[in-house]
Chains A and B, each alone.
Chain A
Amino acid sequence: MSPLLMLVEDGPGDVELVRVALRRTGRGTRLLVARDGVEALERLRADDEQLPDLLLVDVNLPRMGGHELLAEVRRDPLLARLPLVLFSTSSLEEDVLEARRLGADDYVTKPDGGRALVQAVAELERVWLGPGGRAFSDRGPAAAGRAPGRP
């Protein structure tokens, strides 16, 4: 089955950009979109929904932000091992460090251009979803002790 990516993002532009990026990479990754942390948690916990292989979460969200969602996910025993990558405009070192401290698996700065975004998404797919990547399917005990950052 093709991998599933859940994007938690309130900006329709960014959703569209990610959609285009996924289309361009052509791996067939399916996209699930939640508008904020609350909606994301609801859908993650719904019985009839399939769990995504990767969570790409915007930091600034209405109702429940990315950091809070990250904490909720890590607290939930059923969700704790989901790979979660934070996704934000800021490229500041302190924000990157904060994300890692909170337990995000990675931090990706939203690139300025469409082309750069496609590259970033492709990289994410390669690392987390692709063959040889740390796909959700083989996430096991290794996920908990995974060192943040790119391998």
Chain B
Amino acid sequence: MPETPSLLSRRRLERAGSLHWLHAVVVGLSVLLTLGAWHVSREQVEERKRRQFERECEQVLGMVRERMQKYEDALWGGVALIDTLGRDVRHGEWLRFTETLDIETKYPGINGLGVIFRVERGELDAFLDGQRVGRPGFRVHPEHGEHTLYPITFIEPVADNQQAVGLDMAHEENRHAAVRAARDTGRATITGPIVLVQDEARSPGFLFFVPFYGDALDPTEGGALRGVVYAPFVVRKLMEGVLHKENRHVGVRITDGDEVLYDEHLSEEPDHDPEPLHRTRQRLELYGRSWEFDLRSTRSFRSAQGSAQPLTILLSGLTIDALLLWIFLGLSRANRRALQYADDANRELTEKAADLERSNEDLARFAYVASHDLQEPLRMVGSFAELLDEEYRARLDEQGRRWLAFLVDGAHRMQALVRDLLTYSRVGRHEYSFGPVDADRLLHGVLGDLAGAVEEAGAVLRCEPLPTLWGDEAQLRLVLQNLVSNALKFRDPGRRAVVQVRAVPAQGEGRVMLEVEDSGIGIEQRYADRVFAIFQRLHTHDAYRGTGLGLAIAKKIVEDHGGSISFRSEPGRGTTFRVELRTPPRGPSLARTRHRRPARRSA
């Protein structure tokens, strides 16, 4: 199939409407962007979670340190009391002191607050005597071989700590070492993990010691240790007080060396996360011990810190991508449908055009055959009517001669009609041979043919120089002939006939307008649409002879040449017919058909 412009533009449409790599790139990039945004957002959320976890870990450690300081302060309060007294504190005084402190409400997690005196073995009896004044059952236990004894002398509230009363710190190295450390440094110390004698749950705990001295405030000034103020802790209780579970999303395990002090990483813990998102280990140096904190995020951390943002971004993005794809597919489908529609419409039109062409051709053929075959018998009628008129005229009466005249006239008119009809039907069937046509020469030929008519009309001809036209010479000659003979025919009997032929510039490249102007009777505007119609006559035969085909033939030829014909008229003044035609194309076609090209002379 040849590449016609419509086929090319159709191809372009097909290409534009089909899905190709650009669409794939757009969708692909969009998906990549979505995934990128999702990734970045997820990273940010992860980062935020990590920071949140770190912050919570800091909080836990900070609270433990703070709470331990608070307990230490309470213990130092006890030391201050003893130092203020300037003598050994008595049980009643200690009781009042602890009641004032209001341990249970102000120091949650602390088991009690007690005093341990340093007792040399040699002073033990005197010490026991002194203590048994108000507490006859007081005894120091258990037995051991050390020279210096550190019995728990008072512990308040005593109710929960009954077993601890009289317990000697020196009986066991863990407690003893912490006491000695307090004694030697003058600072608060804690023991390693122990099981408190008063804790029935036997969970890990430790003791907190703060030393006091007899005559000086600390050992650097040479003071001898008088005893320690002490507090026992069960770590579990301590932590329950310290770390409120609400709003905490980290679990804690505290170990001191190999021993576990406190552990929330147990499956029975409700918020335990077997696979924590974050975990960290941190060491806290506390009063001579080193506690290791194993911190892990809990299950509630997941939900509290979970963010819907990345998922929202991902889902929104993918939805938009899907819509984009849907739009592309829709556009493509719409385009295919449009093309399909155009094809269908085109096919229908082509079929209709073919039908029309066929029926047109049938009609033209019919007109041709009819007019051609009509000629022969008509010629017989005309010829013999004429012969009859010539040879038998004398033998006819007046009526016979009149009738014969009608017969001859009718035959002649019909012959003219059939001849013109044949010409008209041949116009469409004629194979045009296009070439340059010298309109000047054409006009002079026409005027030569019409010389008789010109003379009969007594017409004045004014012809201006005409350009070279592009068309079929014989056909264009027919146009000029019809127009000029028309101009001569419809003359006004009241004035001299003047026929002017000239060329005027036309709009558009390569076009020219020929004008044939007469001074005839003119055409009323209401007949405008009938002037060029086939067999249309505006006058009776008696007034103007003619078949009514001349202008129809001219119009058909002009239109076959891609031109147009029109007229302008003023009834009683004259008519101007205007024919727009082409001039020869520039370029090679001119070189091929050599012809004389008259210079355009201005009119």
Contact = CB atoms under 8 A, between A and B. Distances in A.
Given A110-B379, A112-B412, A115-B390, A13 B474 contact: no
B352 to A, nearest CB: 34
Interface string B383-406: 111110010000000000000000
A90 to B, nearest CB: 8
Contact of B474 (A20, A89, A93): A93
Contacts of A89: 372, 375-376, 379
Nearest to B416: A112
Contact of A113 (B372, B376, B382, B474): B382
A114 B412 contact: no
A77 interface: no
A64 interface: no
A26 interface: no
B338 interface: no
A114 B412 CA distance: 11
Contacts, number: 35
Interface in A1-29: 11, 13, 17, 20
A127 interface: no
Q: For the complex, would chain B's binding face be called helix, strand, loop or mixed by DSSP majority?
A: helix
B390 A114 contact: yes
A41 interface: no
A13 B377 CA distance: 9
Contact of A17 (B383, B390, B412): B383
Given A89-B372, A114-B382, A114-B385, 19 more contacts: A13-B380, A17-B383, A17-B384, A17-B387, A20-B387, A89-B376, A89-B379, A110-B379, A112-B379, A112-B382, A112-B383, A113-B382, A113-B383, A114-B383, A114-B384, A114-B386, A114-B387, A114-B390, A115-B386
9 contacts: A13-B380, A17-B383, A89-B372, A89-B375, A89-B376, A112-B412, A113-B383, A114-B390, A117-B383
Contacts of A17: 383-384, 387
B547 interface: no
B519 interface: no
5 shortest A-B CB distances, which residue pairs? A114-B386, A114-B387, A114-B383, A13-B380, A113-B386
Interface in A109-141: 110-115, 117
A93 B385 CA distance: 28
B415 interface: yes
Contacts of B412: 112-113
B425 to A, nearest CB: 13
A108 to B, nearest CB: 13
Interface string A84-95: 000001000100
Contacts of B474: 93
A11 B387 contact: no
A13 B390 contact: no
Interface residues of B, number: 15
A11 B383 CA distance: 13
Nearest to A92: B426
Nearest to A17: B383
A112 B415 contact: yes
Interface string A65-81: 00000000000000000
Contacts of B386: 113-115
A114 B382 CA distance: 7
Contacts of A114: 382-387, 390
A112 B412 CA distance: 8
B375 A13 contact: no
Interface in A93-114: 93, 110-114
B430 to A, nearest CB: 10
Nearest to B385: A114
B382 A11 contact: no
Contacts of B390: 114-115
A53 B412 CA distance: 34
Interface in B357-376: 372, 375-376
A13 B379 CA distance: 9
Nearest to A12: B380
A110 B382 CA distance: 12
Nearest to B388: A114
A117 B375 CA distance: 15
B472 to A, nearest CB: 12
B383 to A, nearest CB: 4
Contacts of B376: 11, 89
Contacts of A110: 379
A54 to B, nearest CB: 21
B589 to A, nearest CB: 24
A89 B376 CA distance: 7
A112 B418 CA distance: 12
A44 to B, nearest CB: 26
Interface in B537-562: none
A146 B278 CA distance: 123
B477 to A, nearest CB: 11
Most A C-beta atoms less than 10 A away, residue of B372, B384, B385, B415 = B384
A102 to B, nearest CB: 21
